[in-house]
């Protein structure tokens, strides 16, 4: 079957394969509105499940209509019989026989399904094309018929999608499942499981508070910006970075992270030392996310829902500050020097204000806050300071 796609000349490139004669790859940025809805799934070994968390996350990203989808998604890889592009008409003709299993989608079936469903379901509510758009990366491969099996397996067992699922099968997370107890039922340890919280997120939280991996002067920015590193560190032979030493406090850390986000708006709105109150509902941070707000404002580990989303980039520096309250116990496992939630009740207003001030200086962008080591350092210093102040008061 032939598909004719409208693609500007600056959004298409072709590269011949240097080792396989007759093989070529086209790289295309295509509006999601123009993705054909009847592409064949022939070479893709994973048939997408329509209501999985993976699909839901992709759909949420699409529905933001912020022009970033092609940056956040790996796109769709296609095996085609032929491609012809005319730069004068800006038309790309794609030939994909629908009766030959060698042609069609190799990788990106969940992305394809998500695009199709969102474009169909939101056809009347989508913003005008000239106001907002989302694009998807297409990687169209020609002359790779004899390599399809290897390509499909390699793409579908990539690090970003499969490593934690494979590690779960190997039993690598048994210590964490045991540590979480009943809370483990909230965690998704395999790619297509239905549970709401991904195990990588748990490892990111534990990385935030890990005193073995991060010292007083070295702050866990990578906990926010690189989940794959957190996974790698947790899998180091011999527990080199002490993740298992956090088993005793693992549930506390998960609940604390949710508690921080749940209480964030109220603490921001509470009067400061001058009596002035904040208005979190009117901040850029509270209104930046137009879609997917409910999923961000659902706090599974404490069983509550918030009114406003509190992004990970804001909450992680605060969670990381509580690293200052962990010390080795008698059995070398970490334990709290004080109840972390009571400490946050007492000093959370100052910590929230510290992060929100930093966010104001970064145009209200939580992503920039979460990647800024100086914010982590400031919050960590505040936690240590107020803990020491509390101890001095007790002694007096």
Q: For residue range 58-73, what is the model confidence (pLDDT) as tens digits?
A: 999 999 888 999 999 9
* One domain for residues 35 and 147: yes
Of the three residues 156, 177, 207, the one that is the final residue of a domain is 156
Locate 336 and state its tokens.
């709290």
Q: Is the separation of the CB atoms in 176 and 38 below 8 Å? A: no
Using the predicted structure, report yes or no on whether residue 158 has a pLDDT greater than 60. no
Tell me, what's the pLDDT at 40? Answer: 81
* Number of separate domains in the chain: 2
Looking up tokens 């989302």 gives 134
Q: Are strands 135-142 and 104-107 parallel, antiparallel or unpaired?
A: unpaired
* One domain for residues 152 and 254: no
* One domain for residues 83 and 193: no
Q: What average pLDDT does the structure give for the chain?
A: 90
- 3-state class of 114 per DSSP? helix
* One domain for residues 320 and 200: yes
* One domain for residues 249 and 335: yes
Quote the crossing angle between the two packed helices 199-208 and 312-321, to the nearest 10°: 40
Tell me, what's the pLDDT at 157? Answer: 46
Of the three residues 156, 174, 198, the one that is the final residue of a domain is 156
Task: Report, as an integer, the average pLDDT of 176-187.
Answer: 97
* One domain for residues 191 and 299: yes
Locate 385 and state its tokens.
């300071």
* One domain for residues 176 and 87: no
* One domain for residues 252 and 355: yes
Task: Report, as an integer, the average pLDDT of 168-175.
Answer: 89
Burial of 67 (0-12, 13-18, 19+ CB in 10 A): exposed
pLDDT of 300-352, one tens digit each?
999 999 999 999 999 999 999 999 999 999 888 999 999 999 999 999 999 99
* One domain for residues 57 and 110: yes
Residue 367's pLDDT band, with cuts at 50, 70 and 90, is: confident
Tell me, what's the pLDDT at 33? Answer: 93
Locate 179 and state its tokens.
């540590």
pLDDT of 15-66, one tens digit each?
999 888 889 999 999 999 999 998 887 665 555 666 777 788 899 999 988 8
Residue 45 DSSP class: S
Residue 238's pLDDT band, with cuts at 50, 70 and 90, is: very high
The model's pTM:
0.64
Q: What is the DSSP string of 219-250?
A: --HHHHH-HHHHHHHHTSGGGTT-SGGGGGGH
d(CA 383, CA 396) in angstroms, rounded, equals 20
d(CA 15, CA 27) in angstroms, rounded, equals 8
Tell me, what's the pLDDT at 274? Answer: 85
Tell me, what's the pLDDT at 273? Answer: 84
d(CA 378, CA 362) in angstroms, rounded, equals 15
- Strand stretches in 192-333, DSSP E: 197-198, 298-299, 304-305, 326-328
* One domain for residues 191 and 65: no
Of the three residues 130, 156, 182, the one that is the final residue of a domain is 156
Tell me, what's the pLDDT at 49? Answer: 65
* One domain for residues 143 and 61: yes
Residue 253's pLDDT band, with cuts at 50, 70 and 90, is: very high
* One domain for residues 235 and 373: yes
Q: Is the separation of the CB atoms in 41 and 76 below 8 Å? A: no
Which domain covers residue 220, as residue numbers?
Answer: 161-395
């Amino acid at each position: 079957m032939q598909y004719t796609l409208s693609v500007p000349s600056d959004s298409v490139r072709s590269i011949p394969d240097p080792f396989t004669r007759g093989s070529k790859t086209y790289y295309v940025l295509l509006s999601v509105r123009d993705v054909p809805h009847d592409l064949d799934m022939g070479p893709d070994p994973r048939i997408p499940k329509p209501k999985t968390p993976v699909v839901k996350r992709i759909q949420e990203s699409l529905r933001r209509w912020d022009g970033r989808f092609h940056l956040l998604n790996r796109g769709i890889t296609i095996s085609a019989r032929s491609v012809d592009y005319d730069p004068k008409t800006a038309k790309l003709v794609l030939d994909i026989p629908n009766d030959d299993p060698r042609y069609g989608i190799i990788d990106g079936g969940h992305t394809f399904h998500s695009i199709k469903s969102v474009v169909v379901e939101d056809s009347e509510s989508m913003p005008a094309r000239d106001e907002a758009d989302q694009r998807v990366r297409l990687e169209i491969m020609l002359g790779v018929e004899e390599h399809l099996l290897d390509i499909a397996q390699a793409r579908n067992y990539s690090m970003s999608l499969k490593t934690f699922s494979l590690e779960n099968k190997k039993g690598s997370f048994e210590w964490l499942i045991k540590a979480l107890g009943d809370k483990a039922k909230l965690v998704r340890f395999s790619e297509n499981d239905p549970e709401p919280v991904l195990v990588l997120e748990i490892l990111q939280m534990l990385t935030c508070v890990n005193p073995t991996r991060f010292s007083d002067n070295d702050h866990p920015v990578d906990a926010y910006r690189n989940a794959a590193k957190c996974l790698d560190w947790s899998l180091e032979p011999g527990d080199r970075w002490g993740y298992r030493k956090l088993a005793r406090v693992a549930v506390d850390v998960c609940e604390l992270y949710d508690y921080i986000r749940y209480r964030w708006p109220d603490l921001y709105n509470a009067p400061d030392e001058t009596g002035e109150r904040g208005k979190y509902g009117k901040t850029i941070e509270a209104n930046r996310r137009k879609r997917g707000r409910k999923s961000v404002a659902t706090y599974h580990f404490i069983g509550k829902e918030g009114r406003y989303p509190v992004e990970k980039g804001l909450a992680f520096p605060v969670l990381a500050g509580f690293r200052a309250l962990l010390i080795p116990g008698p059995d070398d496992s970490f334990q709290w020097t004080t109840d972390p939630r009571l400490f946050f009740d007492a000093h959370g207003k100052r910590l929230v204000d510290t992060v929100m001030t930093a966010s104001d200086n970064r145009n209200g962008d939580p992503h920039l806050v979460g990647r800024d080591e100086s914010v982590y350092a400031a919050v960590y210093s505040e936690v240590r300071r107020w803990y020491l102040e509390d101890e001095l008061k007790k002694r007096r």
